[in-house]
Amino acid sequence: MTEALVIRANAKLNLSLDVTGVREDGYHIVDMVNRSVTLFDEIRIELTPGHPFSIKSNVRYFPTDEKNLIWKAAKKLTEKLGTEMPEARCTVRKRIPSQAGLGGGSADAAASLIGFNSLLKAGLSERELCDIGAAVGADVPFCVIGGTARVGGIGEVIQSIDDNLSCPMLIAMPRHGRSTKEAYAMLDRTPVLVHPDTDSIIKGLAEGDAEKAFLRAGNVFEPVTADEVTEELKNKMAADGAVYSAMTGTGAAVFGVFQRPREALEARDLLRTEGYGAWVVYRADKGAEIIT
């Protein structure tokens, strides 16, 4: 009997993103409010005894070798278990755009850790999966836990927070992506940064008040890396009723917070007619979840 699972890997939004320092090893110290949302990739993992580990996808740009974070996650997990790479086939249906600041690769890695932990009957705890994920990528631990959380350190310090804000959000993706490495290099060359008030957004989310939550929110990268398209998308969302809009991560995607679904859907349709990728999303309680 074939042993297989399908795991949903949810994208993440940085509702607020701050960088508070740089460690001696060059890693940046962050203070973020992250939220899992209902834009997702689907990963099917099938154990294939007698056949080597492999990855395939529905998109051309997706790496299928050792550079893929799914591959790296599987390798780190089996190193933890003291076993060889699993004989398995991973089939990835991508929906989360690349170089968007939405954590697509990290979400896929987190989903694979959860999937292989189940299929291989490894019995690792969520904390152990996070520790493995931290060696794969900075966003992987959050994508393992998901929900809404304050994230610190270099991404490994995760504190789940109350999130009673259920309004829709609109994600818009320009025609081009943005390199995270280049964005951090630009940030390091910027003498003065505009820091958001992380505590205020946490309080607003707990109270379910969108205007209060985002009054002092922000993304430290936005003044550094935003371009004309970023500003255009933010202005379009504001004109269509968004109470707040900003870049997520290092970009290039922009998200807007709406009070009513109808406004978000109408704004999405307008952006799609102009050639942008656009999705209406809601809060997700998990970063990755087994669906079959």
**Per-residue pLDDT tens digits for 226-270:** 999 999 999 999 999 999 999 999 999 999 999 999 999 999 999
pLDDT tens, position by position, 142-191: 999 999 999 999 999 999 999 999 999 999 999 999 999 999 999 999 99
Two tokens at 78?
A: 């089996």
- Cα–Cα dist 65/56, whole Å: 9
Beta strands in 175-292 (DSSP E): 244-247, 254-257, 277-281, 288-290
Domains defined for the chain, CATH in brackets: 4-161 (3.30.230.10), 169-281 (3.30.70.890)
Two tokens at 199?
A: 């505590």
- Per 3-state DSSP, what percentage of the chain is helix, strand, and coil (rounded to 5)? 35, 30, 40
**What are the residue numbers of the active site?**
12, 139
- Cα–Cα dist 86/135, whole Å: 19
Which residue is it, tokens 């042993």?
Answer: 3
Tell me the backbone φ, ψ of residue 38, rounded to 5 degrees.
-90, 30
Helix (H, G, I), strand (E, B) or coil at 152: strand
Distance of CA 90 to the CA centre of its chain: 20
- Nearest Cα neighbor of 116 from 147, 146, 76 is 76
CB atoms within 10 A of CB 211: 11
pLDDT tens, position by position, 76-131: 999 999 999 999 999 999 999 999 999 999 999 999 999 999 999 999 999 999 99
Query: One-letter amino acid identity for 172?
Result: A
- Cα–Cα dist 170/268, whole Å: 7
Cis peptide bond prior to 267, omega within 30° of 0: no
- pLDDT at residue 2, rounded to an integer: 58
Q: Are 136 and 73 in contact (CB under 8 A)?
A: yes
Q: Which residues pair with 166 in a beta bridge?
A: none
pLDDT band at 1 (very low <50, low <70, confident <90, very high): very low
State the alpha helices, DSSP H only, in 91-193: 104-119, 126-134, 140-145, 180-188
CA distances, 79 to each of 20, 113, 143 (Å): 33, 12, 21
